[in-house]
Each structure stands twice: as structure tokens, then as C-alpha cells.
Amino acid sequence: MSILIEQDSDVALLHRGTRRFLLVSLLATVAIVSAIFLRQGLFRQTAELGFVAESAQDISKGLSVKIAGFRVGSVKTVTLRADGKVEVQMEIDADYMRFVTRDAVVELHKEGLVGSSVLEIMPGPDKTRLAANEAKLAFTRNDGLTAMANALRDKLMPVLGDIKVITGILADPQKGLPATLAQVRETTTSLNTLLQTGNRQVGDIGQAATRVLGKAEQDLVQLDRTLGTVNSRLPALLDKTQRIVDHVEKVAADAESSVPPLLHDGGAVAADVREIVTGAKTAWPIKNFIEAPVPQKLKADSDPHAEGSVAPR
């Protein structure tokens, strides 16, 4: 009997130990699940924001929503509206609503050139008015690589066209590079010929100059002789000239005193004569015999240099 009693107390002890272990395990499991939920944000407060886009291209459920590069939420729903536009609802952490202004713009762009798409909320300039929960924001789509490639193509196409035209002109055998090269070749040949001719002519000039210098030397000798002759005769000639000049001066001095009164008298006499003649012309009966001056007609000559009969060219 004592043995059975001892076995009952051991079982009870085992039962109590098992219950304690199960309780601790249950508490640990609850703590772990709670921690996981907390980590997943299940208990965090969220806010909803929305926007309307023309197309749902590159927008899908779960797409990250960022502010200033930090992930603050994700796309909750993407629905096609009756008017053909796409309505997108985002769910973001309510703590970050303090950065979202009413005039904020949601921009879809790629992370890097070929990275995944992401929605970035760009706050507007008016920081005082914050967006409310379930507010509708503006949406814009940043150009991706294709758009950039298209823009680049649009810019490059005219340049390529110009290059094609220039290449065509350069390749033109009449006006292009071949013709220019031919002209350059021809010019070079002409230049060589010109240089050769120039050299020859310089040589000829040199010879001619030698001859001219020889002649000049002879002329200088002749001039020297002539100057000698002039030198011997000049003093006498100068003496004679001086005498003539003296005589002319004397005559001029005499004339200076006698001629002006004579001229004055002559002028007065001429004026008197003109007056007398004019008077006589206008006096009766002489005026009847004098014709009044009438304009005379010039003798006409339509070909004064007799050039009119020269045969036309």
C-alpha cells in the first residue's frame, strides 16, 4: 500500500511539471506571434491616399510608396473606373502623413535606368496645409528609358539626315571631295608651273638687271662729263641771267609807277566811250539804224563729228 501511495505522488508531480511546461510554451508562442504582428505593422495606424492615372502601366498592387526615398507604404488597390481611367489607392503609415501636403504629387518612376517602378510622394510648396486621410493627390509619370530613347532618337534623326546629305555632297564626283581633290591637284600642278616660270623670269630679270646696271654706269660717266661742261659754263650764264633780272626789275619798278594811272585812265576812257556809244545808240535818229540785240539761232548740225555714217557694230 505504501508503494502505491508513493507512485501516485510521483504521477501528480509529473502532471504538474507538464502543465507548467505547456503554459510556458503557450505564453512564448503568443509572445512570438505578437512580436511578428507588431513587426509586420498589424497594429500600426495607417492612412489611405489615392490618385487617378490614365493607365495602370507599371502600377500594381503592393508597389512601394516612398517619401524622400523612404518606404512609407504600398499600393493597396488598382481598379479600372467606368470612364476608363485607373484609380489607385495607397496605404501609408499614418506617422508619415505629416509630410504629405494637399498639393503633393505622386510620381511614378524607375529606380535607376532599368530598376523596378516605385511611387514617390513629392510634397508641394505649401507645407502648411496637410492632406487628410483618403485624400486624392495629383499623379505624374516620369519618363522611363523608352521615352528617353525616343527623345534621343527624335534629336538624333535630323543630325543623321544632315550627315547623310553632307556625306552625299562629299561623295559627289562633280562637286564633292573627289572634284575638290582634283582641283587641288590641278592647282598644285599650276603652282609648280608658275614657280618654274617665276624662277625662269627671275633669272631673266637678273640678267636684264646686270645689263641695265652696265648701261647705267655708262650713263653716269656721260652725266659726269655733262656736269663738267655745265660747271664750266654755268657761272657766265648765271652772271648774264642776273643782269637780265636786274633789268627786268628796273623796268617793273618803272611800270609800277606809270602803269596803274595809265590803266585807270584807260578804264575811265573805256567807260566814257561805252557811255557815249550807248548814248549814241539810243539817240534819235541813230537808234533807228541799229537793230536791238536779238537772240541768235545757232547753226544746227545733227552730226557734228560725222560719226553717224560709221557702220554700226
Partner 1 sequence: MRRADLFCLQLLAMSLLLVGCGSSPKPPPEPRLRMQAQEVETIGARRYAQGDYSAAARHFAEGARLQLSLDDAAAASRNRLQQAQSELALGQAQLALEHASQVREDSLQVQALLLQVQAQLTLGRVDAVNPLLARLTTLCGSASCTERGRLLLLQARAAWAGGDVALTLGQAEAALPILRAQQEEREIANAWRLIAAARLKTADTVAALAAARTALDIDRQLALPEKIARDWLLIGDIERRAGKAGAKSEAQSAYLRAQSVAQAAGLQELAKLATKALMESSQ
Query: Which residues lie near partner 1 (CB under 8 A)?
Result: 282, 284, 293, 295-296, 298-312
Q: Which CA distances in Å does 59 have to 114, 158, 199?
A: 16, 35, 85
Would you call 121 helix, strand, or coil by DSSP? strand
The least distance separating partner 1 from the CB of residue 302, rounded to whole angstroms, comes to 5
The least distance separating partner 1 from the CB of residue 264, rounded to whole angstroms, comes to 22
Nearer to partner 1, 114 or 298 (CB): 298
Nearer to partner 1, 261 or 308 (CB): 308
Give the residue carrying C-alpha cell 527623345.
151
Q: Which CA distances in Å does 299 have to 291, 294, 296, 302, 303?
A: 21, 15, 9, 10, 12
The least distance separating partner 1 from the CB of residue 276, rounded to whole angstroms, comes to 15
The least distance separating partner 1 from the CB of residue 267, rounded to whole angstroms, comes to 17
- Identify whether the C-beta of residue 117 lies closer than 8 Å to the C-beta of residue 109: yes
CA-to-CA distance for 63 and 75, rounded, in angstroms? 5
The least distance separating partner 1 from the CB of residue 303, rounded to whole angstroms, comes to 4
Nearer to partner 1, 251 or 270 (CB): 270
Give 233's Cβ-side CA count (13 Å radius): 6
Rounded (10°) CA dihedral 180, 182, 183, 184: 90
The least distance separating partner 1 from the CB of residue 286, rounded to whole angstroms, comes to 13
Q: List the grid coordinates of 11.
A: 504521477
Nearer to partner 1, 3 or 298 (CB): 298
Nearer to partner 1, 173 or 293 (CB): 293
Nearer to partner 1, 69 or 308 (CB): 308
Residues 6+ apart with CB under 8 A from 177: 170, 171
Amino acid type, 258: S
Nearer to partner 1, 155 or 305 (CB): 305
Antiparallel, parallel or unpaired: β 70-80 and 135-141: unpaired
Q: List the grid coordinates of 160.
A: 543623321
H-type alpha helices, the chain: 2-39, 145-171, 177-282, 286-289
Q: Please classify residue 173 by burial: count the beta carbons closer than 10 Å to its beta carbon, then call 0-12 exposed, 13-18 middle and 19+ buried.
A: exposed
The least distance separating partner 1 from the CB of residue 278, rounded to whole angstroms, comes to 9
Nearer to partner 1, 82 or 311 (CB): 311
CA-to-CA distance for 262 and 269, rounded, in angstroms? 10
The least distance separating partner 1 from the CB of residue 270, rounded to whole angstroms, comes to 15
